[in-house]
Chains A and B, each alone.
Chain A
Amino acid sequence: MRMIARRIAFYIVTAIVAITVNFFIPRLMPGNPVLAVLGRVQAQESKQAIAALELQYGVQTKTGLWGQYVQYWAHLLHGNLGTSLNFYPASVGGLIRAALPWTIGLVGVATVISFLLGTLLGVAAAWRRGSWLDGLLPAMTFFQAAPYFFVAILAVALFATKLGWFPPNSGYDTTTLNPGLDWPFLSNLLDHAVLPAMTIVLASIAGWIIGMRNMMITTMDEDYVLLAQAKGLPSHRVIGYAARNALLPSVAGFSLAIGFIVSGALLTEIVFSYPGVGYLLFTAIGSDDYPLLQGIFLIITLAVLLANLAADFVYAFLDPRTRQEA
C-alpha cells in the first residue's frame, strides 16, 4: 500500500509540473505569439472575449506573474479551461467534453485488444520457438516503426477506398443517423470504429509481442519453471507459471507505452476525421486556437497519468513482492 501512496504522490507532483509548464510556455516563447493572434482576433471578438484572453495570457495586465499563476490555478480547480478562439464562444472544457468519449472509447478498446493479443502471441512465440510465429516479428517491427497515421492511411487506402469494406471517415454517419441506443446507430458506430481501432492495434502490438516473447524466453530458463515440469503439471499450467512472471515487465512498461499509444491515437483520428480529441487538436493547431491547444494538452496529460495509476494498481495486484513493507 505504501507503494501506491508513493505513486499517487508522484503523479500529483507530475501533474503540478505539467500544469506549471503549461502556464509558462506561452510566456516564454520569443515574440509573444498570443499578441499576434489577439491582433488578428481583435476585429471579430467582443470586448469581454479580448479581456478574458488577455487575462489568461497575462497580456497588459497589472497582476504580477505570481498573481497570474494563482489565478490560473483557481480557474483550473473550477474546471475553467478558458474559451476557444476558433469556436468562440464555446468553452474549451465543453468542446473537450464532447470529443473525449470518442477518444477514450477508441483508445481504451484498441489498447486492451492490443495488449491481450500481443501478450498471448508473445507467449505462443516463446513456447513454440522456431515456428512460423518467429517470421511474424520483422513484419511487426515494420508496423511499429511506421508512424500511426501512415498505417491509418494504408488502412484507409486498402480497406475503405479499394475494398470498400469500411467507411473512410467520421465516427458515424451524421447524414442519416442520430445518436441513440438503438442497433442501427450502434452498428454504424462500430462500423466506423473498426479501421481506426485496427490501426492502433497494428501499430502498437509489436511491442507487446516482442517484449513478452523475450521475457518468456528468459523466464522459461528459471528453476521454478523446470520444477513445474518436474512436478508433472499439464503444459498450460507450466506456461502459466512462466507467463505470470513474464507479464510483470509488460505491465510495468505499460506506463511508458500508454503515452505513445495516446499520441498515436490522436494522429489516427486525424486521418479518419474521427470526432475525438485528436481531431479537435488538429483544428486547434490549424487555427492557432491556443486556449484549446493548451486545454487539450492538460486533459491528455491527466488522462495518461490516470492510466498510469491504473497500471500501477494492476502491477501491485500481480506481484505480491510489492506488498513488502520497505
Chain B
Amino acid sequence: MSGDVMSEATDVLIEVRGLCVDYGLGDGAVRAVVDADLELRRGEVLGLAGESGSGKSTLAYAITRLLRPPGVITAGSARFGASVNLLTAGQRELRGLRWNEIAVVLQSSMNALNPVLSIGTQFADVLRAHRPDMSRADRRTRSGELLEMVGIPADRLGSYPYELSGGMRQRVMIATALALDPSVVIMDEPTTALDVVTQREILEELMALRDRLGFAVLFISHDLSLLAEIADSIAVMYAGRLVERADAAAIFRAPRHPYSLGLLSSFPALHGPRVAMEGIPGSPPDLRNMPSGCTFHPRCGYVFGRCRSDSPPLLDLDGGTRAAACWLQDGRTAVPAELGRPEPVITAAVTAEAGPTGGRS
C-alpha cells in the first residue's frame, strides 16, 4: 500500500473545511474560493470539475500551500491525515510532506520539466532530497524503474525534455510523481494538452498504476464526462464555490444542480438518440463583480425568487451521501424532473457503461 506511518492510521487523507482563498488583500481582493469543503479518502479518486476560473486549481494549490502570490488563504482549515495542519505547517514540515505524501502532476509537461536538465537529473533531485541514504547507483536504478513503469525505456534517462514527445513527457511527469510512493497525487488537467488518442492511453495507464499502487487522486478537469469514467466521487465548482458533490455515477445519471445538468448536456453522447445540444447560456461571472444571491442564478434555467437574494449553502441530500447548493433542493419547492432522477443503482451494467477504466475500488 502507499503512504507511510503518518497517514496509515486514518482513512481520510485530506480534509478541507470552509476554505476561503483570495487574490490580493483588502477591498480589491478577488474571492477565488469561497467556503470549500472537501474530503479525500485513501485510494479514492476525487474529481474536481468546473470551467476555467471556477477556482478548482486555486483550491488544489492552496491546500498544498503552492499557490503563487498574490494568493492568500483567508479562512478555513486543511489537514493532512490526523496530525498535520497544512495551513500552519512551516517550510520544513511542508517540505517533508511534499512528494513523499502529496505529489502533483501539472497540465503542461513542456513547462513543468526544467528544459536545461536531463530527466535523469530531475528524478535524481527528488530522490536525493527525500532519500538521502540512497547511493548514486541506487538512484539510477530506481529512476530507470520509474521510467519502465510508465513504458519508457530506461536508457532515455539522459534525454532532455525537448527530445521527448508530449505523451512521453507527461508519462515522465507521472513517473516522477510516483517516485516516492505518495498517498495522494493531485492531477491538474494532466491530459488536456494532449491529442485524444494519447489522452486515452495515458489515462488507462494512470488508472492501472493506481490500481496497482493504491494512491488517492485529486483529479482536476473541466471534462465532466471524463471524470464520470475515472472518478469515484465528483465535486463540481462554480465561481469559487462547490455547487454539487456526489458519487460519480450519481452525478452522471442523476445530477441535482442546474449547473451540473448544464455541463452534462454540453457533451454529446456517442450512442443513443440525437438530441439538440444545450450548453449553458451566458458566461462565467467576473469574480470581482459577483451576482447577488446564488452566483449561478443569471444563467440558470430554473431560477426563482429566492435565488436572486440568498446564496444557497451546500445542502445535504439523500441522507448525507451527496450534496448540492441549490434552493430547489431545500425540500420546499417542487424539483423538476431532470433534477430529480432516481439515484443509479451500482451494478455491473452501470460500471461497464461508465467506460473501460472503471476506476472503482
Are chains A and B native binding partners rather than an unrelated pairing?
Answer: yes
- Are B114 and A233 within 8 A (Cβ)? no
C-alpha spacing A233/B113, complex, angstroms? 14
A-contact 0/1 string along B122-161, CB 8 Å cutoff: 0001100110000000000000000000000000000010
Chain B residues, CB < 8 A from A45: none
The contact of A233 among B103, B118, B125, by CB within 8 Å, is B125
The contact of A232 among B94, B106, B113, B162, by CB within 8 Å, is B94
A248 to chain B, nearest CB (A): 8
CB-based A-B contact count at 8 angstroms: 72
B-contact 0/1 string along A220-234, CB 8 Å cutoff: 011110111111111
- Are B66 and A230 within 8 A (Cβ)? yes
- Are A231 and B68 within 8 A (Cβ)? no
Chain A residues, CB < 8 A from B66: 226, 229-230
- Of A20-28, A275-283, A313-321, the one touching chain B: A313-321
- Are B116 and A244 within 8 A (Cβ)? yes
- Whether a CB of chain A sits under 8 angstroms from the CB of B25 is no
- Whether a CB of chain A sits under 8 angstroms from the CB of B96 is yes
- Are A222 and B116 within 8 A (Cβ)? no
C-alpha spacing A261/B22, complex, angstroms? 47
Size bracket of the B interface: 20 to 34
- Are B106 and A227 within 8 A (Cβ)? yes
Chain A residues, CB < 8 A from B106: 223, 226-227
Chain B residues, CB < 8 A from A224: 111-115
C-alpha spacing A226/B96, complex, angstroms? 16
A-contact 0/1 string along B92-122, CB 8 Å cutoff: 0011111110011010100111111110000
A128 to chain B, nearest CB (A): 14
- Whether a CB of chain B sits under 8 angstroms from the CB of A2 is no
The contact of B129 among A223, A237, A244, A321, by CB within 8 Å, is A237
Q: Which residues of A, 248-269, contact B by the 8 Å Cβ criterion?
A: 248
C-alpha spacing A232/B125, complex, angstroms? 10
C-alpha spacing A324/B130, complex, angstroms? 33
- Are A227 and B115 within 8 A (Cβ)? no
The contact of A223 among B94, B95, B112, by CB within 8 Å, is B112
A242 to chain B, nearest CB (A): 9
Chain B residues, CB < 8 A from A221: 68
From A223, A224, A226, A233, residue with most partner B Cβ within 10 Å: A224
C-alpha spacing A318/B125, complex, angstroms? 18
The contact of B116 among A229, A230, A231, A320, by CB within 8 Å, is A320
The contact of B130 among A232, A318, A320, by CB within 8 Å, is A232
- Are B95 and A234 within 8 A (Cβ)? yes
How many residues of chain A have a CB within 8 Å of chain B? 23
- Whether a CB of chain A sits under 8 angstroms from the CB of B233 is no
Given the known inter-chain contacts A223-B111, A226-B66, please indicate yes or no for A244 contacting B117, CB distance below 8 A: yes
Q: Which residue of A lies closest to B65 (CB)?
A: A229
- Are A231 and B115 within 8 A (Cβ)? no
C-alpha spacing A234/B106, complex, angstroms? 20
- Whether a CB of chain A sits under 8 angstroms from the CB of B64 is yes
Q: Which residue of A lies closest to B160 (CB)?
A: A320
- Are A232 and B129 within 8 A (Cβ)? yes
- Are A321 and B98 within 8 A (Cβ)? no
C-alpha spacing A324/B114, complex, angstroms? 16
- Whether a CB of chain B sits under 8 angstroms from the CB of A80 is no
The contact of A320 among B95, B108, B111, B162, by CB within 8 Å, is B162
A275 to chain B, nearest CB (A): 42
C-alpha spacing A233/B92, complex, angstroms? 10
Per DSSP, chain A at the interface is helix
Q: Which residue of B lies closest to A232 (CB)?
A: B98
Chain A residues, CB < 8 A from B176: 231
- Whether a CB of chain B sits under 8 angstroms from the CB of A273 is no
Chain A residues, CB < 8 A from B114: 224, 228, 241, 244-245
- Are A321 and B160 within 8 A (Cβ)? yes
C-alpha spacing A111/B66, complex, angstroms? 39
- Are A223 and B117 within 8 A (Cβ)? no
Q: Which residue of B lies closest to A221 (CB)?
A: B68
The contact of A230 among B99, B113, B118, by CB within 8 Å, is B99
Chain B residues, CB < 8 A from A228: 114, 125
- Are A223 and B68 within 8 A (Cβ)? no
A3 to chain B, nearest CB (A): 14
The contact of B104 among A222, A227, A244, A318, by CB within 8 Å, is A227
C-alpha spacing A230/B115, complex, angstroms? 17
C-alpha spacing A91/B129, complex, angstroms? 62
B-contact 0/1 string along A199-234, CB 8 Å cutoff: 000000000000000000000011110111111111
Chain A residues, CB < 8 A from B104: 227, 230
Chain B residues, CB < 8 A from A222: 111
Chain A residues, CB < 8 A from B64: 230
Given the known inter-chain contacts A226-B68, A244-B117, please indicate yes or no for A231 contacting B112, CB distance below 8 A: no
The contact of A245 among B98, B103, B116, by CB within 8 Å, is B116
- Are B98 and A230 within 8 A (Cβ)? yes
Chain A residues, CB < 8 A from B98: 229-232
A-contact 0/1 string along B30-66, CB 8 Å cutoff: 0000000000000000000000000000000000101
Q: Which residues of A, 286-326, contact B by the 8 Å Cβ criterion?
A: 318-321, 324
A-B contact pairs, 24 of them (CB 8 A): A221-B68, A223-B106, A223-B108, A223-B111, A224-B111, A229-B98, A230-B66, A231-B125, A231-B129, A232-B95, A232-B96, A232-B97, A233-B95, A233-B125, A234-B95, A237-B129, A241-B117, A244-B116, A320-B115, A320-B118, A321-B115, A321-B116, A321-B162, A324-B162
| B contacts, CB < 8 Å to A | 64, 66, 68, 94-100, 103-104, 106, 108, 111-118, 125-126, 129-130, 160, 162, 176
Known: A223-B112, A224-B114, A320-B118. 10 other contacts (CB 8 A): A229-B98, A230-B98, A230-B104, A232-B96, A232-B99, A232-B129, A232-B130, A233-B126, A244-B117, A245-B114
